[in-house]
Amino acid sequence: MKWMDNQFRMNSCLLAALFILLSFGIDIVQCAECQGVIDCVNTFVSKTQSIGHDRSAYCSAVSEVIACIKKVDCLGDTAIHKTDSLRTFQTDRSCNLV
């Protein structure tokens, strides 16, 4: 069980780092950014920084960011940013949301 907890911690830290990078526009080479997605991701990052290693709270935040991104209207090139961000959160295996 300790291995699972360590794996979850590592996954959640890596995922949080990825979303921080996405929120600062490292992804700009591939597509234009959708401001609504950036706002959703920034909210997620803020929440996850304060929850520590609480899996339930983390998975709740993942569900919330998925719902937030789904509601955002992104047009043209920014739709790719929405699709990519949504896919990233939906494939987070530490919460079994798929």
pLDDT of residue 92: 81
Residue 96 within a domain: no
How many structural domains is the chain composed of? 1
Distance CA 87, CA 63 (A): 12
Distance CA 95, CA 61 (A): 10
Does pLDDT of 51 surpass 90?
Answer: no
Residue span of the structural domain in which 35 resides:
2-90
Residue 98 within a domain: no
What does the pLDDT look like over 22-40, one tens digit per residue?
A: 665 554 445 588 999 999 9
Residue 95 within a domain: no
The arithmetic mean of pLDDT across residues 2-9, rounded, is 61
pLDDT of residue 53: 83
Q: Which of 1, 12, 6, 5 is nearest to 49 (CA)?
A: 12
